[in-house]
Amino acid sequence: MSEHDDLDAALAEFLELLRRGRAPEPEVFAEAHPALRGDLLALLPGIIAIEGLKYPSSPAAPPARLGEFELRRELGRGAMGAVYEAWQPSLGRTVALKRLAPAWAGDARSRERFTAEARTLARLHHTHIVEIYGAGTEGDELYFVMELIEGRSLDRVAPAELGAPGAARERCVAELGRQAAEALAYAHERGVLHRDIKPANLLLDAQGLLHVGDFGLAAAAEGGAAAAHSQPDAGTLRYLAPERLLGRPASASSDQYALGLSLHELLRGLPVFVAPSVAELIRRIGDEPVPSAPCSPDLAAILAKSTAREPADRYADLAAFAADLRRFLDGRPVVARPPSAWRTLRLWARRKPVPAALGLLSLSLGVACLVILAVGYRRVSEALRREDGERRRAEANAAVAQAALDRIFAHFDRLPDGFAFASPQSARLLDELLPSYAEIGASAATPPRRLAEVTLILARLQSRAGRPREALESFERSLALYAALPDAAPQLARARLHLAATLDRLDRRPEAEALRREVAAQAGTPGCALPAVEALLDCVDSSRQVSGARAARGAPELARAADLLTPLLRADKPGVEARFLLCRLLAADAGAAARFEAAGLPHDPVLLLEDLVREQPRDPRHRLALSRQLAKVRSRGAPDEAAPARLRRACEEADRLLADFPGEGAAISNAVEIRLKESVALQRAGRTDEAAASLQRAEVILGLLNRSGEGAERRQSELSRKLDEARESLSR
């Protein structure tokens, strides 16, 4: 008889004893089979779980209560005991209570293991991990109390409930996997291995959130081989990583394998490995690779990497696994499947349809331009050997190429400054085309003014694409070009303001402040009044960020800005920029409204901004400012009865902005902040249910902020803190 046959016979014997209620502890059974002791200690606990069987337990009914907890009904059973729904009268809440099986109450090792599970849960505080509330004893009874998850484990969820086959189900499974991977990454960071990840231990609540439960087999991640020998439980056989069959200790990588296999099963609706006997199941897990998942290539590649036979071929950790699932959900290239340039472009276009359409147009123009360039240069070289008429024809071809590039840069120049996202691909495209533009300009006498404009566009795009240091070099070139031009003071002033904004991003505030002061000092230069007003308002905004709003009140810059704006607003048709700067001034200086009203000038910022939004609905600055202005309500003193309605309008404007610019961090942050204000106003008005709903919507929107651009992590942390404070206030 082969070793496999011996093991199969021993396992069959143990199963029979289990079914007859006479099975000994795994260690006792293993001692009776010394040649198979290691394999049996690794496999018997998993076999118990996979068969849905339990250690012998007392046939007596559970007590009606344990401590203060009233036991209502049994929710499930495991190897160490049962879980009940229980009522806690002192706090008026329903909880889950896990009770050690009476058969193990007198066993010191079992009691310690049960207590260790409670201690492990107490170390973990994560949205997607079942929370423990406390532990207790009642005579010989041992129990601990947990959060009750109103829902089902994933092994009881039918595939159809996860969405129709195809993209919908794939996204649902990927999202559940992301939540579980982030929870396990958190546990691993705190030195805890789960060791029994499977669909039955992944709980789905009524809101669609996943919770990792049952840490009964958890072990210290740093324990290594010693921990594996002191705690031989292997987890459930079907989800055991291949290296565990070779006697290697549990690791973060084996948790990753089990999660990947669980997600694979959710997609299939069937177990990945099935076999007529336990020994055959062990052979298949150890010898056969996990088959390709029935899903899109990207998700299949992610699952294949997480369930690779060799741990070194899997993700470095669960955080990397979660990050790749997020990339899949966001429609970005995944690490598990290195993308081709074409696929990267296609995925980006799916995520960013508006910039993609613009990019496609620009790329088409760029390709046409390059073709024209090649033809133009060839003809230019030939024209040098011909008559003057041929030379003029070559120059005309170069002019056509220059015009094509002009169109490309003009499209980028129309992107709203300081807000709309400029992708790194767009910035690189312009970066590559700029030398060609300069070369053509030199050969075709391109006006230096146009070259300065194009260089400034490039600098602004580099800054908005998160490349501020490269932007500084482009700004310097543009400033040098403008400085050499006559009558270019207004353009030079605006270039300095754009440079100041980039210096702010690099925390070089003194240099930015000096540039703005320089622009403000040029207010008397023709065409420089508006840039001077903008510089003064930027100075106030910068001071407010550093020293707070109170320090900015009554700033002399505000009075100077009002003086400069007044004659511009008296014109027959004040321009859009002058009216928008007026709105900024009114928002910054509470006393400015009375001054402009006395002068017979517009002074209601809401009406002004509503007009600007109607005139230019796609300019995000106007709608952003309107939503913020509407959100200015009194938060102290007697409740303002009009505040909820005004904030509802602010939320609607913020949502419209978010719909137009879904990936823009400023739009996301604005929508969250306004809903936090709305929640406070509703709470002050006694409308707590509506306040809670507003907070819930804010939390959903906040999830969009992750990786939305430069500074997203800092903004997300700050807004999460405010959200927690609002929840705490509402709970009181």
Write the DSSP string, 500-544. HHHHHHTT-HHHHHHHHHHHHTTTTSTT-HHHHHHHHHHHHHHHH
Say whether 196 is catalytic: yes
646, 624, 617: which is closest to 633 by C-alpha? 646
Structural contact between residues 193 and 318, judged by C-beta atoms closer than 8 angstroms: no
How many other C-beta atoms lie within 10 A of the C-beta of residue 720?
A: 14
> What residues contact residue 309 under an 8 Å CB cut-off, 6+ apart?
242, 289
Structural contact between residues 459 and 503, judged by C-beta atoms closer than 8 angstroms: no
Residues 242, 244, 248, 249, Cα dihedral to 10°: 140
- With 0-12 / 13-18 / 19 or more C-beta atoms within 10 angstroms meaning exposed / middle / buried, residue 59 is exposed
For the sheet with 132-138, list strands across it. 65-66, 69-77, 81-88, 93-100, 141-146, 132-138
How many other C-beta atoms lie within 10 A of the C-beta of residue 624?
A: 20
> What residues contact residue 546 under an 8 Å CB cut-off, 6+ apart?
509
For the sheet with 151-153, list strands across it. 151-153, 202-205, 210-212
- CA 29 to chain CA centroid, Å, is 49
Residues 704, 710, 716, 717, Cα dihedral to 10°: 160
How many other C-beta atoms lie within 10 A of the C-beta of residue 108?
A: 8
- Residues 6, 8, 140, 196: which is the catalytic one? 196
Tokens of 635: 């938060």
Q: Output the CA angle 508-510-513, nearest 5 degrees.
A: 110
Distances (CA, A) of 4 to 8, 41, 211, 250: 6, 15, 38, 23
Residues annotated catalytic, as ranges:
196
